[in-house]
């Protein structure tokens, strides 16, 4: 029955993937890839936990199951972010993906991290022998290969997007919350699997199952640390973070090349979602321009900026003749 359910779910996911095959910028491809991997791994880990009675393997099973739920939430967030703007949400629903990314971090903290710590404490106080360790080792190695493949795919995608900045700097400044969440989950999973493998081996060769419980505790700590990092990064985007600094550089370049603009008095950018940016600009223009001249000037500015940075979805330009200071 379980395998029938998994087959139907995988077919449904493949249908979603077909719907999005021409929308690679939406970020769903790497989410679906990680979801498929985690479904297989969760089933395998659950079987290993049942066969061995290992607390570390049970913690890993819950971790992978939570990851599956997390990736479904990310898909929901990406889908909601594509909704058109309306009267109630004039700037669209782009930040939905940030909300669901934050929820994923919270679930990783609570379901993944806290449960693993609880299981570790419980198994440490009530140790049970670990048996059939061969099943666990085989499935852990299988999971490491699968999770490692997913993590490497994430790294390849990050390297494509990060341009000239360093890898770790990109993790901090990127607006692609979905990709960072998936990478964080996969990296935590790989580290957790190595911890589970070490805990099982030490427990087996020493005959002390408390080492298995310690492994579960360590996995929980890793998950909580990753969840706190991800929540902190997504919180900044959810509150309202400035867009790519490159946009501001392009704005100044356009203004400098226009003879009728003497200065960019002020500029504010806000990341509204995946590939959606709000820009507000106040420019100082030469005096004696007619209303029509100003209108043509602003239209030309907008067209050039949107041509160079199509993600600028909302753009407001205010002309002025005098200096303007931020209060």
Q: Model confidence at 322, in pLDDT bands (50, 70, 90)?
A: low
Please check whether residues 80 and 198 belong to one and the same domain. yes
Please check whether residues 265 and 226 belong to one and the same domain. no
Question: What's the CATH number where 252 sits?
Answer: 3.30.70.1350
Q: Which domain-ending residue is among 200, 220, 239?
A: 239
Report d(CA 273, CA 91) in Å as an integer.
10
- Model confidence pLDDT, tens digit, residues 94-133: 888 888 888 888 887 777 788 888 888 888 888 877 777 8
Domain holding 257, by residue range, is 245-320
DSSP code per residue over 46-89 = HHHHHHH--HHHHHHHHHHHHHHHHHHHHHHHHHHHTSPP-SS-
> What would the 3-class secondary structure string for 127-171 be?
CCCCCCHHHHHHHHHHHHHHHHHHHHHHHHHHHHHCCCCCHHHHH
Please check whether residues 186 and 280 belong to one and the same domain. no
Q: What is the CA radius of gyration of the chain?
A: 25
Please check whether residues 263 and 205 belong to one and the same domain. no
Please check whether residues 283 and 154 belong to one and the same domain. no
Q: Which domain-ending residue is among 194, 218, 239?
A: 239
Question: For residue 271, is pLDDT > 80?
Answer: yes
Sequence-distant (6+) residues with CB within 8 A of 153 are 30, 33
Mapping DSSP to helix (H, G, I), strand (E, B) and coil, where does residue 242 land? coil
User: Given this model, what pLDDT does residue 87 score?
Assistant: 84
The mean pLDDT of 208-220, rounded to a whole number, is 87
Place of tokens 């321009």: 289
In a domain, 279, yes or no: yes
Please check whether residues 160 and 274 belong to one and the same domain. no
Report d(CA 279, CA 248) in Å as an integer.
9
Please check whether residues 267 and 141 belong to one and the same domain. no
Structural domain count, the chain: 2
Q: Which domain-ending residue is among 214, 239, 264?
A: 239
User: Given this model, what pLDDT does residue 12 score?
Assistant: 45
- Model confidence pLDDT, tens digit, residues 49-96: 887 777 777 877 887 887 788 888 888 888 888 888 888 888 888 888
- Model confidence pLDDT, tens digit, residues 180-193: 888 888 888 899 88
21 C-beta neighbours (distance < 10 Å), count = 10
Give pTM, 2 decimals: 0.71
Please check whether residues 249 and 202 belong to one and the same domain. no
Question: For residue 312, is pLDDT > 50?
Answer: yes
Residues 284 and 267: beta-carbon distance below 8 Å: no
Question: What's the CATH number where 172 sits?
Answer: 1.20.1510.10
């Amino acid at each position: 029955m379980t395998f029938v359910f998994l087959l139907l779910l995988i077919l449904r996911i493949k249908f979603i993937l077909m719907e999005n095959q021409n929308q690679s910028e939406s970020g769903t491809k790497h989410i679906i890839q990680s979801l498929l991997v985690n479904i297989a791994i969760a089933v395998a880990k659950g079987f290993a936990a049942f066969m061995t009675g290992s607390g570390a393997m049970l913690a890993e099973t819950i971790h992978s199951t939570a990851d599956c739920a997390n990736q479904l939430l990310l898909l929901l967030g990406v889908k909601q972010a594509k909704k058109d703007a309306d009267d109630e949400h004039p700037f669209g629903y782009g930040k939905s993906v940030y909300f669901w990314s934050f929820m994923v971090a919270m679930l990783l903290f609570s379901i993944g991290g806290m449960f693993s710590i609880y299981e570790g404490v419980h198994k440490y106080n009530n140790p049970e022998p670990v048996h059939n360790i061969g099943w666990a080792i085989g499935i852990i190695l299988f999971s490491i290969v699968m999770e490692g493949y997913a993590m490497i795919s994430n790294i390849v995608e990050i390297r494509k997007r990060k341009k000239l900045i360093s890898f770790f700097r990109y993790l901090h400044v990127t607006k692609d919350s979905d990709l960072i969440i998936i990478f964080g989950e996969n990296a935590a999973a790989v580290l957790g699997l190595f911890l589970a493998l070490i805990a099982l081996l030490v427990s087996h060769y020493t005959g002390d199952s408390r080492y298995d419980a310690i492994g579960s505790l360590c996995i929980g700590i890793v998950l909580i640390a990753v969840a706190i990092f991800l929540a902190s990064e997504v919180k900044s985007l959810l509150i309202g973070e400035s867009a790519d600094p490159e946009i501001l550089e392009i704005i100044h370049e356009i203004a400098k090349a226009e003879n009728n603009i003497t200065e960019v008095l002020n500029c504010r950018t806000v990341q509204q979602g995946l590939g959606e940016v709000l820009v507000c600009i106040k420019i100082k223009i030469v005096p004696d321009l007619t209303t029509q001249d100003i209108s043509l000037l602003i239209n030309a500015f907008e067209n050039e900026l949107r041509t160079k940075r199509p993600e600028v979805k909302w753009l407001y330009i205010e002309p002025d003749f005098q200096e303007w200071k931020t209060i």
